[in-house]
């Protein structure tokens, strides 16, 4: 269905250029030239009421005057004529549209209005549309040869598909790609994305054999949930590489919880890309270098790298980079070493890095590569060349590519520290490996290859569904909402967590001293006593928490003292009593919680809690809902995981139980989408059992949404009549 629809745009049999022009240096003229020069394989119908012929093609006053069927229409006309022109297109049966014209939502309120109208019109007519406000699109397939852009250069054919959200940048990128001789299969400038966006194109390219990798330049993600679903699936088949700009924008508003304040504007985008298996780049150079690597390398079987060099220094630098990236330096097998020793000079080093020394000739390069590439201990190779008297760079490159040809399954990356002339020459050749000037660039490439390997080997994971008491949680939240509180009390928060099967420490509420003692007796000493209030949120600041109460007598004493303190601090109002809580002993305080990104939605956090949370920021974020694999990776990826494993004689934590806590929280926030913030801080690791126990909890909801979601029949809107 989508394929059929988008084929009309990306593989049209005929194209109408509405607004084609005879006037030079206009978009309507430039695009006609591109279509002609790139030899579009279908029919071209320029539409212009004032011309008979444009760039050698017969022109028509309107699409309705064209005698044959038209698959695809490009609109290069003033915005005010767009809607009526679409009506004509509809009459003609055209289902594929690209609107180059600007003047829509990028221009302000009026434009937004017009774009909404446009989107509705497209939907009404059942049309799919690229743009408006875009550079156009390209398909380099031999049976299509469609260049419907007005970029300066004609495209180079290759296996990359590229979506750009910026038209201007897209043009620059096309220029550079041409210059770097990085070819692509298809290119789409999505512009304002009134209909087609990056996700549409990713889905279209998922099973397109012309497309071996997908590159994205994004300034926003249209539908994060859908993006995640698609990307997680497609990245298992081919690399998706994204440059997401705007990461420094102070987007997220100041939030009141820890989780919120740690979740900066870019955290959500970063989490989303990571858990979808998208390789993220932070600059165009990285994007292009990575594309070059994936264009010329298979995905390796492992992360063991061998370095072959004719100079020590670059070998050392490459080793540094590889070790820092966490890749492994391959253990060259004895057999390989023996073979190398048989033909390399005595001064050569046959340990990894393999230094053939400066006297290495072409024969040495060929035989060494041939020997090392066959070694089963080696997954990837970095081959370094420095110019020495008599040895020509291009000859070495050709020789190693000859060897590489016979070993298609192992990536070989060339580092040729030579003149730029070499790169110009090589970019016009048919190569089977990527060449870089510097070792660090090749090391980056090795890292990306390994990232993709790891992702492809990673289990997909499942979003589990636990048996929870949703009704109970709903009721508690409803009560808070009914009372106009967007922030649940500690007691309520812990009750909600328990309803979702999260291990919270045992507690009971008491409103009198006698009750307090009775609750404590049922829990067993030592206990903690905490004030529970509907108005005071940071309890410790007013002395509202007393720990390590060892006996009933001590508790009675402390109860009286607490009441005096609270009275003095003016905190008696709103006080709903004291919570008597099991005192969990443990020195390791973790934190987990939920923050909401205004654009991306709920995000899970996990990490080191306590006083360190904001100082050390040893926390990680992932978008909810989590899969079991997501949760497991979150726990293992924080530095403090070593504490959980039981550093320095502490009891190893129950990692699976903590993982389940995260997954249950994820289920909670999926069930109640209006939960804005949730903190479990600390999630204390019990020294006795290793469990992660929620010792404190805070839940905050978005009031209006909560009211709507919990909507009640009496019409007051607060859910009171449930």
- Residue 539 has which token pair? 């309890």
Q: Which is nearer to a copy of itself, 179 or 553 (CB)?
A: 179
Q: Which is nearer to a copy of itself, 322 or 332 (CB)?
A: 322
Kindly determine how many residues on this chain lie close enough to bind a copy of itself according to the rule CB under 8 A: 76
User: Which residues inside 162-181 make contact with a copy of itself, applying CB under 8 A?
Assistant: 165-166, 168-169, 171-172, 175-176, 179
User: Which residues inside 138-157 make contact with a copy of itself, applying CB under 8 A?
Assistant: 150, 152
Q: Which is nearer to a copy of itself, 96 or 690 (CB)?
A: 690
User: Which residues inside 221-280 make contact with a copy of itself, applying CB under 8 A?
Assistant: 243, 245-248
| 310 belongs to the binding site for a copy of itself (CB under 8 A) | yes
User: Which residues inside 440-499 make contact with a copy of itself, applying CB under 8 A?
Assistant: 440-441
| 283 belongs to the binding site for a copy of itself (CB under 8 A) | yes
**691: number of CA atoms within 13 Å, CB side?**
12
Q: How far is the CB of 83 from a copy of itself (least distance, A)?
A: 23
User: Which residues inside 91-110 make contact with a copy of itself, applying CB under 8 A?
Assistant: 107
From 113, 324, 402, 573, residue interacting with a copy of itself (rule: CB under 8 A): 324
From 49, 56, 390, 484, residue interacting with a copy of itself (rule: CB under 8 A): 390
Intra-chain end-to-end CA distance of the chain, in Å: 44
For residues 231 and 238, is the Cβ–Cβ distance under 8 A? no
- Residue 160 has which token pair? 């990359």
Q: Which is nearer to a copy of itself, 14 or 259 (CB)?
A: 259
Query: Which distant-in-sequence residues (6+ apart) come within 8 Å of 2 by Cβ?
Result: 200, 203, 204
Q: How far is the CB of 196 from a copy of itself (least distance, A)?
A: 19
Residue 498: strand pairing partners: none
Each residue of 459-497: b (16+ CB within 10 Å) or e? eebeeeeeebeeeebbbbbbbbbbeebbbbbbbbbbbbb
Q: How far is the CB of 33 from a copy of itself (least distance, A)?
A: 12
Scanning 57-65, 80-88, 306-314, 394-402 for contacts with a copy of itself by CB under 8 A, the matching segment is 306-314
| 406 belongs to the binding site for a copy of itself (CB under 8 A) | no
Count Cβ atoms below 10 Å from residue 232 Cβ, excluding itself.
18
Q: Which is nearer to a copy of itself, 441 or 558 (CB)?
A: 441
For residues 502 and 699, is the Cβ–Cβ distance under 8 A? no
DSSP 418: S
From 3, 39, 157, 285, residue interacting with a copy of itself (rule: CB under 8 A): 285
Q: Which is nearer to a copy of itself, 312 or 598 (CB)?
A: 312
Which residue intervals of 247-392 are DSSP H helices? 258-262, 267-275, 284-296, 312-324, 334-343, 362-373
From 37, 65, 219, 338, residue interacting with a copy of itself (rule: CB under 8 A): 219
User: Which residues inside 528-557 make contact with a copy of itself, applying CB under 8 A?
Assistant: 540-541
Sign of CA dihedral 408, 409, 410, 414: positive
For residues 623 and 601, is the Cβ–Cβ distance under 8 A? yes
- Ramachandran bin of 333, using left for φ above 0, alpha for ψ from -120 to 50, beta for the remaining angles: beta
User: Which residues inside 623-652 make contact with a copy of itself, applying CB under 8 A?
Assistant: 639-640, 642-643, 647-650
User: Which residues inside 570-589 make contact with a copy of itself, applying CB under 8 A?
Assistant: 587
From 112, 154, 222, 386, residue interacting with a copy of itself (rule: CB under 8 A): 386
Give me the torsion for CA of 424, 425, 429, 434, rounded to 10°. Answer: -60
Place of tokens 């444009």: 54
Q: How far is the CB of 420 from a copy of itself (least distance, A)?
A: 6
Q: Which is nearer to a copy of itself, 4 or 428 (CB)?
A: 428
Q: Distance (Å, rounded) from C-alpha 271 to C-alpha 519?
A: 43
x-or-dash string of contact with a copy of itself, 589-618, rule CB under 8 A: -------------------x--xx-xxxxx
DSSP 504: B
| 424 belongs to the binding site for a copy of itself (CB under 8 A) | yes
Q: Name the residue among 706, 685, 692 with its Cα closest to residue 664.
A: 692
Q: How far is the CB of 86 from a copy of itself (least distance, A)?
A: 25
């Amino acid at each position: 269905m989508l394929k059929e629809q988008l084929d009309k745009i990306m593989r049209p049999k005929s194209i109408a250029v509405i607004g084609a022009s005879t006037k030079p240096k206009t978009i309507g003229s430039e695009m006609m030239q591109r279509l002609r020069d790139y030899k579009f394989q279908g029919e071209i119908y320029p539409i212009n009421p004032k011309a008979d012929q444009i760039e050698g093609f017969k022109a028509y006053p309107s699409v309705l005057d064209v005698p044959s069927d038209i698959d695809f229409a490009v609109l290069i006309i003033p915005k005010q004529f767009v809607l009526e022109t679409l009506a004509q297109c509809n009459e003609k049966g055209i289902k594929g549209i690209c609107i180059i014209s600007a003047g829509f939502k990028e221009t302000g309120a009026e434009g937004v209005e017009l774009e909404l109208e446009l989107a509705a019109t497209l939907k009404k007519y059942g049309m799919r549309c690229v743009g408006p406000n875009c550079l156009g699109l390209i398909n380099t397939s031999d049976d299509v040869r469609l260049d419907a852009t007005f970029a300066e250069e004609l495209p180079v054919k290759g296996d990359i598909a590229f979506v750009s959200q910026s038209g201007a940048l897209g043009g620059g990128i096309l220029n550079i790609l041409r210059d770097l001789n990085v070819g692509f299969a298809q290119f789409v400038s999505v512009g304002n994305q009134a209909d087609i966006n990056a996700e549409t194109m990713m889905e279209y390219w998922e099973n397109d054999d012309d497309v071996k990798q997908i590159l994205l330049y994004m300034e926003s993600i249209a539908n994060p949930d859908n993006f995640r679903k698609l990307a997680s699936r497609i990245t298992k088949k081919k690399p998706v590489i994204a440059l997401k700009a705007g990461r420094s924008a102070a987007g997220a508003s100041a939030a009141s919880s820890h989780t919120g304040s740690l979740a900066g504007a870019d955290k959500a985008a970063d989490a989303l890309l990571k858990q979808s298996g998208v390789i993220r780049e932070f600059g165009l150079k990285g994007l292009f270098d990575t594309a070059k690597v994936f264009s010329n390398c298979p995905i390796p079987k492992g992360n063991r790298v061998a370095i072959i060099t004719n100079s020590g220094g670059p070998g050392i630098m490459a080793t540094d980079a590889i070790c820092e990236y966490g890749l492994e330096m391959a253990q060259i097998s004895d057999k390989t070493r023996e073979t190398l020793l048989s033909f390399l000079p005595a001064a050569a080093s046959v340990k990894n890095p393999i230094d053939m020394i400066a006297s290495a000739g072409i024969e040495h390069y060929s035989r060494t590569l041939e020997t090392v590439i066959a070694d089963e201990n080696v997954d990837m190779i970095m081959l370094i060349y420095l110019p020495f008297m008599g040895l020509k760079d291009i000859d070495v490159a050709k020789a190693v590519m000859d060897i590489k040809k016979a070993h298609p399954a192992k990536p070989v990356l060339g580092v040729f520290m030579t003149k730029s002339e070499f790169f110009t020459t090589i970019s016009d050749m048919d190569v089977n490996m990527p060449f870089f000037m510097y070792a660090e660039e090749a090391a980056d490439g090795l890292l990306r290859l390994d990232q993709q390997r790891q992702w492809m080997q990673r289990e997909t994971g499942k979003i589990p569904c636990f048996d929870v008491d949703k009704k109970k949680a709903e009721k508690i939240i409803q009560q808070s909402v009914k009372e106009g509180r967007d922030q649940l009390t500690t007691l309520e928060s812990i009750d909600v967590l328990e309803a979702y099967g999260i291990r919270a420490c045992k507690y009971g509420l008491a409103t009198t001293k006698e009750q307090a003692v009775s609750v404590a007796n049922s829990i067993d000493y030592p206990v903690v006593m905490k004030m529970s209030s509907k108005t005071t949120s940071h309890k410790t600041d007013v002395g509202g928490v007393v720990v390590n109460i060892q006996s009933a007598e001590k508790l009675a004493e402390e109860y009286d003292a607490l009441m005096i303190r609270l009275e003095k601090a003016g905190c008696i109002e709103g006080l709903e009593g004291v919570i008597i809580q099991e005192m969990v002993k443990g020195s390791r305080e973790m934190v987990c919680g939920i923050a909401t990104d205004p654009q991306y939605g709920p995000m899970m956090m996990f990490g080191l809690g306590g006083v360190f949370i904001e100082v050390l920021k040893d926390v990680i974020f992932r978008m909810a809902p989590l899969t079991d694999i997501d949760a497991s990776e979150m726990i293992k990826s924080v530095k403090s995981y070593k504490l959980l494993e039981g550093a320095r004689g502490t009891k190893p934590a129950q990692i699976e139980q903590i993982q389940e806590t995260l997954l249950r929280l994820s289920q909670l926030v999926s069930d109640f989408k209006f939960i804005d913030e949730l903190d479990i801080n600390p999630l204390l690791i019990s020294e006795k059992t290793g469990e992660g126990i929620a010792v404190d909890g805070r839940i905050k909801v978005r009031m209006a949404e909560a009211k709507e979601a919990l909507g009640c029949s009496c019409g007051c809107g607060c859910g009171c009549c449930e």
